[in-house]
Amino acid sequence: MSKIKPSKGAPYARIIGVGGYRPTRVVPNEVILETIDSSDEWIRSRSGIATRHWASDEETVAMMSVEASGKAIADAGIAPEQIGAVIVSTVSHFKQTPAVATEIAHRVGAGKPAAFDISAGCAGFGYGLTLAKGMVVEGSAEYVLVIGVERLSDLTDLEDRATAFLFGDGAGAVVVGPSQEAAIGPTVWGSEGDKSETIKQTVAWNDFQIGDVSNLPLNSKGEVKFPAITQEGQAVFRWAVFEMAKVAQQALEAAGISPDDLDVFIPHQANMRIIDSMVKTLKLPEHVTVARDVETTGNTSAASIPLAMERLLATGQAKSGDTALIIGFGAGLVYAATVVTLP
């Protein structure tokens, strides 16, 4: 018989606060057209994107995260010292170590919480939320700060016609805390590593630093290109529309609800065509509010779901207590979907 004392956590967990930060610079499609041969009409028809936000030198991954986190903590109505863990999902914090989560925890005044980064691309917020739920229920933390943050403008090849217009910067954060009723459903998550080349970084960091540049891509000026994100657009589109709709349906079933029970759908803001196709495939009723933040924010990877959630609540398009389906999917290829009660 085990001598280990059982953990004592909350019966359930829920999102109790949300916050977001978008950089001050708004970049319209006209700026993107300065470096690629395209048109505003083409970009809008392919992606639904009209503008995106790009960070200044001062708007670092840490700074944007602190701003979003402060709003989420205030919205949750707790003191920063009550936070027992900080989870940051990002692929654009360029320091391998230490984790940016430790800096953020200190700057928001969280004391000495557990703090770590995860890399799960556009599914990263869902991964972090699932980990946070487990911590609260298990009892290792009463409140967990989950952040999705990206500066994808640093990883964008502005001469790549397929991706130059896609990416934006920003941070979204939520506080997960105890609940007396189920408010974060079972997560349906996974990966398809055989498709890992579909979305990837063009050049590994160690290849980029090597003196011999003969095998590295060059820009129009003959200079070595900084590592960037590239993708096979059509393959990603087909996978997202058909396979991720199945995952979304599985998440609904795992939560014990049907599309008719939903109030809100918050998919990863990758592309308006993907979002609209998923809505059609899932046969969502007209009363379901659908997040389409991608039009003005672009694809912010791990930040896109919490940013979209924050905007829906701030604008009154969604309200506290609404039942929402969230799903993230991206590089890896990885995915995560769950049903939540909005804070």
Active-site residue list: 122, 268, 299
129-162 burial code (b ≥16 CB/10 A, e <16): bbbbbbbbbeeebbbbbbbbbbbbbbbbbbbbee
CA distance 302 to 171: 8
CA distance 213 to 211: 6
Q: What is the largest CA-CA distance in the chain?
A: 70
CA distance 29 to 33: 6
The torsion defined by the Cα of 316, 318, 320 and 321, in degrees rounded to 10, comes to 150
DSSP letters of 55-84? --SSS-HHHHHHHHHHHHHHHHT--GGGEE
Compute the Cα dihedral for 14, 17, 18, 21 and give only its sign.
negative
> From the CB of residue 340, how many other CB atoms can be counted at a distance below 10 Å?
25
Helix axes 272-282, 244-255, angle to 10 degrees: 50
Tell me: cis bond preceding 333? Omega within 30 of 0 counts. yes
Q: Do residues 329 and 335 lie in contact, with contact meaning Cβ atoms separated by under 8 Å?
A: yes
Please, where are the H alpha helices in 209-271? 233-238, 244-255
CA distance 190 to 126: 11
97-107 burial code (b ≥16 CB/10 A, e <16): eebbbbbbbbe
